[in-house]
Structure formats: structure tokens, C-alpha cells
């Protein structure tokens, strides 16, 4: 399942796309005004369908603006079919260009193809349920709220969340966080995990599981709140 945002000023198109993509198991949010496209919604998105000819700020301008905030696929939906427009859309950060009118089967195929490609390609963020890890800013968010983690707590959390099926020993976590030449005690990992769980518990069910006698792992790859 992916989180998809549809930005279009036509309610009919929004509802048609929402209904079709929800049949594929995706969660779809409709935006009919660019002013509603907040930072939290952008972080929510695994893929954005963006109309070009919007009232006020047009789709090309929106794409240029939000491309700095997200690396998710952006697919333009538009009746503008001139080659110059297509080149413009792709050159400013768009990933695909779907012309109106379009067949809903074609739209679904394009969306799912981009999502499969995303699953194979490392990105600048990790999403686990309602948690988002910004790998560039080294910051964790619950929906729109920044989680106050120390540098070491963030590194541990990112390591476990990046490989949710893998169990890490204290030694492996220590090496990943502090490096081979770290001067902290191994017991520091236990304390960091304790503090990390306490901070995450404020927002969600604790996702870090102890595997007795071995180490720690991320509890569930598809954690839901």
C-alpha cells in the first residue's frame, strides 16, 4: 500500500482517481487547492499526481517548490500536450506526464510502475507507518511533528527501521553508531534503546523489539498506528 496525493481542481477527476487507486489498496488524499499542500501532506506522499493547469499557482511551479522537500515520484496530469510543456515538466523534477483525457487503466499502470521502481531505488527518506525518517536532515517525524531524538538515538532508530527484518546485536549497533574507534561503553546501547523507546512511546506503539540473547530489531515493517 502506498500513500498517494492527487492535486487537481476537478472534483470528478479527484474522485475517479481516488476510487481507482483505492481498489489497488492505496491510501489516497485529494487536494483541490495548492494552499492545502502542506509540509505534512508532502511527507505523507509516496507519490503525487499533479495537475498542471491549476488556478493560482500552477503545477509546474508547485513541482519546482516541493521537489526540494520530497523525492517521491511526481506525475503530471494535464491536457497540455505540446512537446515543450512535456520537456518543461520533466526538467523541473517531474517523473512522468499523463495527458488528459486518460484511461484509468493506464493511470493505474503508470502509478504502480513508479511505485515498484521506488521500492527498488534508495531514496532520501524511510517511511514506517506514521513515522518518517529524513535521511538527509537526520531527523525523525511522527506525521507533522519532529521527534526530539539525540544524534545517537536517531542513528539507532534509522539503522533498525532501514532493515526491519534484521536482528542487530549490541556490538553491531555500537559499531554502526559510534564506529570501530568509539570510546563509549557497550552498555550505552542499552541505555540509548531505553531512552529511544520512551520517546517513541509518546507517539506510537513501541516499534523496537528485544530478541532475547541476540539483540534488537524493528518490530514490524508495516507498522500501523
Q: Does the N-terminal peptide bond of residue 101 adopt cis geometry, omega within 30 degrees of 0?
A: yes
Do 168 and 192 touch, CB atoms closer than 8 A?
no
**Predicted pLDDT of residue 38:** 86
Q: Who has greater pLDDT, 223 or 130?
A: 130
| Statement to judge: residues 11 and 48 lie in one domain | yes
pLDDT bucket at 225, cuts 50 / 70 / 90:
very low
Full residue range of the structural domain in which residue 168 is found: 125-218
Average pLDDT over residues 34-48: 85
CATH code of the domain covering residue 132? 1.10.10.10
The count of domains in the chain is 2
Residues 29 and 106 in one domain: yes
Q: Are 110 and 148 part of one and the same domain?
A: no
57 lies in the same domain as 95: yes
- Distance, in Å, from the CA atom of 133 to the CA atom of 212, rounded to the nearest integer, reads 27
Confidence of residue 223 (pLDDT cuts 50, 70, 90): very low
pLDDT tens figures, 171-201: 888 888 877 555 556 788 888 999 999 999 9
The predicted-structure confidence for 71-84, as pLDDT tens digits, reads as follows: 888 999 988 777 78
Instruction: Give me the half-sphere count of Cα atoms (radius 13 Å) on the Cβ side of residue 59.
Output: 29
- Are 58 and 146 in contact, with CB atoms under 8 Å apart? no
Task: Using only the alpha carbons of the chain, give its radius of gyration.
Answer: 20
pLDDT higher than 70, residue 154: yes
pLDDT at 217: 93
pLDDT in tens, 19-31: 999 999 998 999 9
Which pLDDT score is estimated for 180?
A: 59
Amino acid at each position: 500500500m502506498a500513500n498517494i496525493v492527487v492535486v487537481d481542481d476537478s472534483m470528478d477527476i479527484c474522485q475517479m482517481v481516488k476510487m481507482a487507486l483505492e481498489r489497488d489498496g492505496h491510501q489516497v488524499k485529494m487536494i483541490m487547492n495548492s494552499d492545502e499542500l502542506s509540509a505534512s501532506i508532502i511527507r505523507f506522499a509516496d507519490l503525487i499526481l499533479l495537475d498542471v493547469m491549476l488556478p493560482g499557482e500552477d503545477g509546474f511551479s508547485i513541482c519546482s517548490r516541493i521537489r526540494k522537500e520530497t523525492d517521491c515520484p511526481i506525475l503530471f496530469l494535464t491536457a497540455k500536450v505540446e512537446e515543450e510543456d512535456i520537456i518543461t515538466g520533466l526538467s523541473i523534477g517531474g517523473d512522468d506526464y499523463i495527458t488528459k483525457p486518460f484511461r484509468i487503466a493506464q493511470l493505474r499502470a503508470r502509478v504502480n510502475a513508479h511505485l515498484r521502481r521506488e521500492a527498488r531505488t534508495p531514496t532520501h527518506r524511510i517511511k514506517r507507518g506514521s513515522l518518517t525518517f529524513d535521511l538527509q536532515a537526520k531527523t525523525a517525524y511522527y506525521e507533522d511533528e519532529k521527534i526530539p531524538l539525540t544524534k545517537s538515538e536517531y542513528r539507532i532508530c534509522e539503522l533498525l527501521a532501514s532493515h526491519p527484518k534484521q536482528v542487530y546485536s549490541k556490538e553491531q549497533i555500537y559499531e554502526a553508531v559510534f564506529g570501530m574507534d568509539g570510546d563509549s561503553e557497550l552498555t550505552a546501547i542499552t541505555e540509548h534503546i531505553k531512552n529511544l523507546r520512551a520517546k517513541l512511546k509518546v507517539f506510537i506503539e513501541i516499534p523496537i523489539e528485544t530478541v532475547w540473547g541476540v539483540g534488537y530489531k524493528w518490530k514490524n515493517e508495516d507498522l500501523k498506528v
